[in-house]
Amino acid sequence: MKRNHFIYVVALGVGLEVLSLSSSLNLRAQDAKASGDSAKPATTTAEPDAKSGPSYSGMYAFLKEGEFVQLTVEDAGHVTGFISRFGEGESDKGEFLDQFFKSGKIEGSKLTFTTEIVRGVGFDFKGTVERGEGKNPEDEAYFVLKGPLTETASDANKKVTSHSQDVAFKMFPRDAAPAAGK
């Protein structure tokens, strides 16, 4: 059952990424048609996307192997997504838990998000999206989320503890868009 949940969550993430990529490609095609200059290099359209953020959308590694963050940048810098992680409490140890963003925004490369509290645990991220070591969008770590991640937990006695750590979450490789003529 845990494996089926993982496959479902990964399929959902891939589906969201395909929609994001399809929308991005459609907008680029519309921009190229509107300009009427097919001899102009396409590199000029990549820069505005990087500033506005749609290309930041995707799946990033999280704290442990098998855990991830799904990030979707929408209009006006609004960010949605979720963290899928393993539970660590007595009642949920090893179980997959999905924590959806309660709020999220991106301004330039500055990214912030706060998750819903699930089983007494919530996360806050206040950092940046930076270019990573990946050379192409389909490479691992093309983008990296860097900054402090704060985990807040409350126990059965309502005692709240908070732990902050600097993180660098690498973007998972994207599927390359099919080349024209192939």
> Residue 19 is part of a domain; what is its CATH number?
2.40.128.30
For residue 32, pLDDT over 80 is answered with: no
Buried b (16+ CB within 10 A) or exposed e, 28-52: eeeeeeeeeeeeeeeeebeeeeeee
- CA 118 vs CA 98, 100, 153: distances in Å: 8, 9, 9
Q: Note whether 115 and 83 are within 8 A (CB).
A: yes
Domain tally, the chain: 1
**Is residue 30 included in any domain, yes or no?**
yes
For residue 23, pLDDT over 60 is answered with: no
For residue 42, pLDDT over 50 is answered with: no
Q: What is the pLDDT of residue 14?
A: 46
**Is residue 20 included in any domain, yes or no?**
yes
Environment class of 99 (CB within 10 Å of its CB; exposed 0-12, middle 13-18, buried 19+): buried
Tokens coding 166: 């600097």
**Is residue 42 included in any domain, yes or no?**
no
Neighbours of 139 (CB within 10 A): 14
Model confidence pLDDT, tens digit, residues 146-172? 999 999 999 888 899 999 999 999 999
**Is residue 47 included in any domain, yes or no?**
no
Contacts of residue 130, Cβ cutoff 8 Å, sequence gap at least 6: 109, 143, 144, 146
Calpha distance 141→139 (Å, rounded): 6
Which pTM does this prediction carry?
Answer: 0.67
**Is residue 49 included in any domain, yes or no?**
no
Domain that holds residue 150: 2-34+54-170
**Is residue 78 included in any domain, yes or no?**
yes
**Is residue 131 included in any domain, yes or no?**
yes
Tokens coding 140: 């691992």
For residue 118, pLDDT over 60 is answered with: yes
Q: Is residue 113 very low, low, confident or very high in pLDDT (cuts 50, 70, 90)?
A: very high
The percentage of the chain sitting over the pLDDT mark of 70, rounded to a whole number, equals 66
**Is residue 176 included in any domain, yes or no?**
no
